[in-house]
Chain A
Amino acid sequence: MSIDSSSGDRTVSGGVVDDPILEISDTSVTYNDGETYVLDNVDVSIDRREVLGIVGESGSGKSMFASALLDAVPDPGVLTGEISYHREDGSTVDVLELSDEELRQFRWEEVSMVFQGAMSSFNPTMKIGTHFAETLKTHDKNVSEGLDFARGLLENLYLEPDRVLDSYPHELSGGMQQRALIALSMVLNPEVLVMDEPTAALDLLMQRSILQLLDSLQAEYDLTIVFITHDLPLVASLADRMAIIYAFQFAEIGPRDEIIGDSAHPYTRALLNATPNLDAPLGEMQPIEGEGPAPVNVPSGCRFHPRCPLATEKCRTVDPPLTVLEGFDSEHRAACHHWKEAREEISLNFGETKEWFEAGEPAEGPDQLPSGQGADAKGSPLLSLDDVEVHFTKEQGLIERFSSDPDAVRAVDGVSLDIQEQDLVCLLGESGCGKTTLGKTMIGLQRPTGGSIEYRGRDVWDADASDSDISDEAIRSALQIIHQDPGSALNPNRRIVDILSEPLRHTHPNISTNERRSRIYSLLERVGITPPDDFMDRYPHQLSGGEKQRVVLARALLMNPDAILADEAISAVDVSLRIEIMDLMLELQSEFDTSFLFISHDLSNARYFAEHGNGRIAVMYLGEIVEIGSPERLIHDPRHPYTEVLRWATPNLEIDAMEAEDPPIREIDVPDPVDPPSGCRFHTRCPVAREACRKEHPDLRELADADGKAACFREDPTHDYWDSEPLEGAERQPY
């Protein structure tokens, strides 16, 4: 795949829009008879052939902006203002004046949209190929030529065209459906692609790969792309200009490099500092206090003032306009009374860690918690996994039952790992790599099919453990789990106080109702739900996402656990709150003497958690741990080629490092876990794989010159690997 770097010969020069394709003026979306604004008086122009990245947290109005561009605001919302679309031939379309039929032609032929929930807009009774054919027919295009074009697009998106075109939507995985949708959105060769969180459901590696593909498609088809996301570093690698939305208004807009390196709005600067990434010193990553306002509760004056450290009386009363800033060469606009002070007083934190690491200094924050004991801990472990295997046998047909061995998905294969008291381990890997299964096995929720797991020396699954003084019930309450989606983990029909009383009834059956209530009160206060009285009688739907996650955490802590498995526990939390929730978990870990197993697909989050808690990151690939070590070493000196791939897939905020590079991998898709590759399982994708890797399986060994372990022959200078030939497509990289 050829990759074109971003910001090439596009027409946006110095951030000035000189050939707008879309002009949005005084545009608002209101509900409740104009009382509630979910998009408030937006004025923005989008230049022909630019990539505009729009960043906002959930509920900020960014998706409403996308819907407004296509006049597709959901009922009973009312869209007002003016949206003009300028064709290249000089004619102009007033989007809000189009008839239904004109709008239908306009959408997709001129401006097409891909959104995260778009997967649910498939027709489940039609094959994907029919979706393409219908789209082409509806718009009077040549179907066979269009399908040839579609095949090329699907192939570029790492899909098998014939298989995908012949499938019904429900036969494809979510990632494949999303890629099929991107191809569908391109099949009519539109001028503008509006993408609203188009890759949010995908793994980081696939997201980054698709973004690189968009970069080359953008150049090849002269596309204008509006890319809307909550993930600032992700879009930064693609965008020419970036805009930040806060509380239904644009807070700042300007050239990418200025927004990242020289932003003017305090919210942008705070968001950059709050985004977990690989480049910032830990101690300087700061959450933004509070949460974004709901549409019915928008503050007066500047909407950011309740969370802004620089807010003055003027900010509380006068709403600052989005004005062009003096002193920039480009058109850089921000809505802040004190943007000059913001640039002086709120320093940006990224881009310093690497130097720290290279200078040999510990990359730790000033308030680092001395909690985790890591791999060097002495004494008997809290949890000990020995050669654990979890194989799921697939059901077989009648004929196969007599003729062959059952197929098994090797979700976890031969994992040995010790978790100490107050330890912290992050399991990192792509979806389907077995990290959740391993996590559940560690806390006794999944029975291993091989090997053993011990809790304080007692086999968790040993039915005949009458000689042990640890009961099954004690193990169950000592090992707790926090799920990804706090909303579905809380019973919607019960009040918070009832939800939290349940675990106390188990652990302290004899305490009075008043004492139970007072314990819940103090714990809620401790997890930052204040004042607790206001929350105890609420139902889960009356809580924000961050508050729900705190309640779930409180519930786990009420069991006085020795270990908590946090399965993607912060993925559903807004970016500005992630650090706050992770900090809270770390503080509580130390206070409650708990170990944490943190499952993540995101290296930035794993790094923050592991580095702050002095823990380890274990990288998983197809059921095995391929590398484990301290986060500093793993990020700056990865020893397994797969860890390097994950490092590549993690977007960062260093402008110099943003230019697109090819992924350090030969195949994007993960092999079938039913039939994993022979030898080293990564050899089919590894950029430096050789013949030896295909034949022999590398064990996870201690590194000779650094902390941790890796399972790669390249760590052994005397291995046969060095004398064997590189596999097709792999490089001969010297020791």
Chain B
Amino acid sequence: MTRYEPECVDGTLFLVGDDRIEVGTIDDIVAAIGGDTYTIEYDEKQRTQSWLDTDDGALEVDVRETVTTLYHTEEMVSELRDYDMDTDRYGLPTRTVEFSNRFVDILEQQGI
């Protein structure tokens, strides 16, 4: 299974594995996700896990940092290829929006 690593060139994010796929500008991704930070919440039971260093169960994720560090699976990249970089009606490329949706899914599922 090839893993795809993020690479940022002049403010544009690419995922690089066996080949290279453009995802969109970091600014567009941040806009699609809805801000520079994204908050994940953990319930009482989840907070029993020792690595979760949170007082109130909320974990703030720095979107700019995380989109440029998180690896992705070949499966996700192959699905992103079904979307192109044409701009959709909201002014963002469809692939950028799709990537952002999936990125939020990863954060919301808190790891799954």
Q: Which chain A residues have a beta carbon within 8 Å of chain B's beta carbons?
A: 67, 70, 72-75, 104, 107-108, 112-113, 115, 117-126, 130-131, 134-135, 138-139, 167-171, 174, 177, 184, 188, 394-395, 397-400
Ordered by A's residue number, 6 sampled pairs between the chains whose C-beta atoms are within 8 Å are A67-B45, A119-B111, A121-B110, A167-B71, A168-B70, A399-B18
State how many angstroms separate the Cβ of A177 from the closest Cβ of chain B: 7
The answer to whether B112 touches A125 (Cβ under 8 A) is no
The answer to whether B111 touches A169 (Cβ under 8 A) is yes
Helix, strand, loop or mixed for chain B's interface? loop
The answer to whether A168 touches B46 (Cβ under 8 A) is no
B106: chain A residues at CB < 8 Å are 124, 170
A119: chain B residues at CB < 8 Å are 111-112
A126: chain B residues at CB < 8 Å are 51
Of B47, B59, B112, the residue contacting A72 (CB under 8 A) is B47
B47: chain A residues at CB < 8 Å are 72, 121
CA distance A135 to B19 in the complex (A): 36
The answer to whether A135 touches B50 (Cβ under 8 A) is yes
B73 within 8 A of A: yes
Which of these binds chain A: B23-31, B36-44, B84-92, B93-101? B36-44
The answer to whether B45 touches A115 (Cβ under 8 A) is yes
With A72-B48, A74-B43, A135-B50: A123-B110 Cβ-Cβ less than 8 Å: yes
Give residues of chain B (30-76) contacting chain A, Cβ–Cβ below 8 Å: 40, 42-53, 59, 61, 66, 69-74
State how many angstroms separate the Cβ of A529 from the closest Cβ of chain B: 34
Residue of B nearest to A169 (CB): B111
With A72-B45, A74-B44, A124-B109: A395-B50 Cβ-Cβ less than 8 Å: no
Q: A120-B110, A121-B49, A123-B110 are in contact. List 12 more A-B contacts (CB 8 A).
A: A72-B47, A75-B44, A112-B50, A113-B48, A117-B45, A120-B112, A124-B40, A125-B66, A134-B53, A170-B112, A174-B112, A399-B19
CA distance A426 to B79 in the complex (A): 33
The answer to whether B49 touches A118 (Cβ under 8 A) is yes
A120: chain B residues at CB < 8 Å are 46, 109-112
A74: chain B residues at CB < 8 Å are 43-45
The answer to whether A124 touches B107 (Cβ under 8 A) is yes
What are the 9 tightest A-B residue pairs by CB atom distance, in nearest-first order? A122-B111, A169-B111, A397-B19, A395-B78, A121-B46, A134-B51, A108-B50, A397-B18, A120-B110
With A119-B111, A124-B107: A131-B44 Cβ-Cβ less than 8 Å: no
The answer to whether A123 touches B59 (Cβ under 8 A) is yes
With A123-B111, A394-B78: A139-B50 Cβ-Cβ less than 8 Å: yes
Residue of B nearest to A173 (CB): B112
Q: Which of A130, A135, A139, A174 has the most CB of B within 10 A?
A: A135
The answer to whether B46 touches A118 (Cβ under 8 A) is yes
A118: chain B residues at CB < 8 Å are 46, 49
CA distance A398 to B21 in the complex (A): 10
A135: chain B residues at CB < 8 Å are 50-51
A112: chain B residues at CB < 8 Å are 50
The answer to whether A125 touches B73 (Cβ under 8 A) is no
Residue of A nearest to B61 (CB): A125
The answer to whether A125 touches B45 (Cβ under 8 A) is no
State how many angstroms separate the Cβ of B8 from the closest Cβ of chain A: 16
CA distance A486 to B40 in the complex (A): 29
The answer to whether A131 touches B51 (Cβ under 8 A) is yes
CA distance A120 to B59 in the complex (A): 13
With A115-B45, A397-B17: A124-B110 Cβ-Cβ less than 8 Å: yes
The answer to whether B45 touches A171 (Cβ under 8 A) is no
Q: Which of A108, A170, A171 has the most CB of B within 10 A?
A: A170
B72: chain A residues at CB < 8 Å are 171
With A118-B46, A121-B42: A168-B61 Cβ-Cβ less than 8 Å: no
CA distance A136 to B45 in the complex (A): 20
The answer to whether B44 touches A395 (Cβ under 8 A) is no
Residue of A nearest to B66 (CB): A125
Of B18, B59, B69, the residue contacting A400 (CB under 8 A) is B18
Of A124, A138, A397, the residue contacting B51 (CB under 8 A) is A138
Q: Which of A117, A169, A171 has the most CB of B within 10 A?
A: A171
Residue of A nearest to B102 (CB): A170
CA distance A120 to B110 in the complex (A): 5
B43: chain A residues at CB < 8 Å are 74
A113: chain B residues at CB < 8 Å are 45, 48
The answer to whether A170 touches B111 (Cβ under 8 A) is yes
The answer to whether A125 touches B69 (Cβ under 8 A) is yes
The answer to whether B112 touches A169 (Cβ under 8 A) is yes
Q: Which of A104, A113, A125, A398 has the most CB of B within 10 A?
A: A125
B112: chain A residues at CB < 8 Å are 119-120, 122, 169-170, 174, 177
B49: chain A residues at CB < 8 Å are 108, 118, 121, 184
State how many angstroms separate the Cβ of A50 from the closest Cβ of chain B: 22
The answer to whether B81 touches A395 (Cβ under 8 A) is yes
CA distance A302 to B37 in the complex (A): 53
State how many angstroms separate the Cβ of A185 from the closest Cβ of chain B: 9
The answer to whether A123 touches B52 (Cβ under 8 A) is yes
State how many angstroms separate the Cβ of A278 from the closest Cβ of chain B: 32
With A119-B112, A177-B112, A400-B18: A125-B70 Cβ-Cβ less than 8 Å: yes
Residue of B nearest to A194 (CB): B48
Residue of B nearest to A399 (CB): B19
The answer to whether A170 touches B81 (Cβ under 8 A) is no
CA distance A424 to B53 in the complex (A): 53
For B11-23 the 0/1 string (1 means CB < 8 A from A) is 0000001110000
Residue of B nearest to A115 (CB): B45
Of B18, B71, B79, the residue contacting A171 (CB under 8 A) is B71
The answer to whether B109 touches A70 (Cβ under 8 A) is no
State how many angstroms separate the Cβ of A638 from the closest Cβ of chain B: 33
State how many angstroms separate the Cβ of B103 from the closest Cβ of chain A: 10
CA distance A122 to B106 in the complex (A): 11
Residue of A nearest to B42 (CB): A121
State how many angstroms separate the Cβ of B107 from the closest Cβ of chain A: 5
B53: chain A residues at CB < 8 Å are 134, 138
The answer to whether B45 touches A138 (Cβ under 8 A) is no
State how many angstroms separate the Cβ of B78 from the closest Cβ of chain A: 4
CA distance A67 to B43 in the complex (A): 12
B111: chain A residues at CB < 8 Å are 119-124, 168-170, 177
The answer to whether A67 touches B42 (Cβ under 8 A) is no
